[in-house]
Structure 1
């Protein structure tokens, strides 16, 4: 709607609000902490503004327990992804895509067992992809692209048997492409280009008979 300015903290007074969508505007400044106290919220969509702040360390600790969709992608948010996010246990859709989040991906994200869509791409995240990712067996889309993840892809990624799209492009991932990836038999899109994988392409990749798009370029794979 072309709205500009900051989001008023008084919006947190709407204590019975179930859905808050101010996406695709020109809001700037911080996300009011009062937003994270709206205990009836099921949908929070702040996508594509110019919001710049960190998120509260206890963002899901006291409220937001009903939240099913959190979409704060395409902003200028920074700081670490808080471990308390794992207490928003009803989340089905989570997108922090295209911000400036840094640090490690918290292992507590494994508590979000209802997640179907997880978008953490285009940030400054680093460290290993936690093995707890393998607990998210309802995932259909996993996007960790354009970060600084390193180390090996955990074998537990083979547990995500409902996964249809997997984006790992442009990281610093090393080692072999895990053979467990062959368990993802409904996967349609796999991009692991521009990493540091080496060794051979596992034969198990031939089990992925639903694949429509496969990108392995710009690695050390031979």
Structure 2
């Protein structure tokens, strides 16, 4: 395979595009010019093979051809914010050099392929806002270099696999707005690198673990809105000293809002609304930098 193979693969992709509203591919992707000069294409300086394909935000409608699997030097694939649809071709499995897969905000459907677990160099995997269904494959635990994982706004079901806890380099994890049963996920997550945990509307049940912040000490954003969490907000939440955003709206939380929240000096966004919480009249929410508090909605104020 050579650069001619890469060019043929992209021309096959172009042929699958049924709508190109900005006429970018139709006018720029031409065999009369070097493929390395096409819009959205990056070639490596050493082998002169395509290393990055970025056609995000072009409003394209179409499907992926099997020839996509011939881009054997591809490191980054960014197709986000289009109207691409269909199942991913099995030939996708050949793209073993990939570090970035961003398919977000499209209409891809079918099951999440287990072969993604073979992409050992993958750093970012984002498929949010599509129509994928089925279970999150356990093979995801093979992605030891993964830093960013987002699968929210799909039709995934079943448990959040415990194997996710083995991704010790993960910084962003977002799985909400699926049909998941995430009843025990907060109990087993032990990823010290995690900075952003977004499990809004992820089917979480049970209580907030008292040792959550000890296991996730670098959390900056914690979004657990729209779940079925119960019990009290643990006072140990203050151990998440880097928290900037804390969203616990619309759960079944009870008890007193911990005054320790006032010690979170970096907190900027706090939402505790639509729970059954009491507020201590002495509680201080004068956290430095806190500029957005919505719907604390206590059921009564303790004197």
TM tier, shorter chain?
Answer: over 0.9
1:16 to 61, 73, 77: 73
Q: State the superposition RMSD in angstroms.
A: 1.6
1:169 to 225, 234, 254: 225
Q: TM-score if structure 1 supplies the norm length?
A: 0.92
Where 2:98 maps in the other structure, the secondary structure is coil
Task: Map Cα deviations across residues 70-98 of structure 1 (whole Å, 9 max, x no partner).
Answer: 11111111111111111111001111121
State the partner residue of 2:134.
79
For 1:42 and 1:187, the matched residues in 2 are separated by 28
For 1:187 and 1:33, the matched residues in 2 are separated by 41
State the partner residue of 1:124.
179
For 2:195 and 2:92, the matched residues in 1 are separated by 28
Report if the CA contact (8 A) 1:37-1:64 is conserved.
no
Q: Report how many aligned residue pairs link the two structures.
A: 219
Displacement after TM superposition at 1:189 (Å): 0.7
Unpaired runs of 5+ in structure 1? none
- 1:192 pairs with 2:248: yes
Where 1:24 maps in the other structure, the secondary structure is coil
State the partner residue of 2:260.
204
Unpaired runs of 5+ in structure 2? 1-57, 279-303
Where 1:52 maps in the other structure, the secondary structure is strand
Where 1:155 maps in the other structure, the secondary structure is coil
1:180 to 236, 241, 265: 236
Q: TM-score if structure 2 supplies the norm length?
A: 0.69
- 1:30 pairs with 2:84: no
| More displaced stretch, 185-194 vs 17-26 | 17-26
Q: In terms of Rg, which structure is larger?
A: 2
RCO higher in 1 or 2 (8 Å CA, sep ≥ 6)? 1
For 1:209 and 1:36, the matched residues in 2 are separated by 46
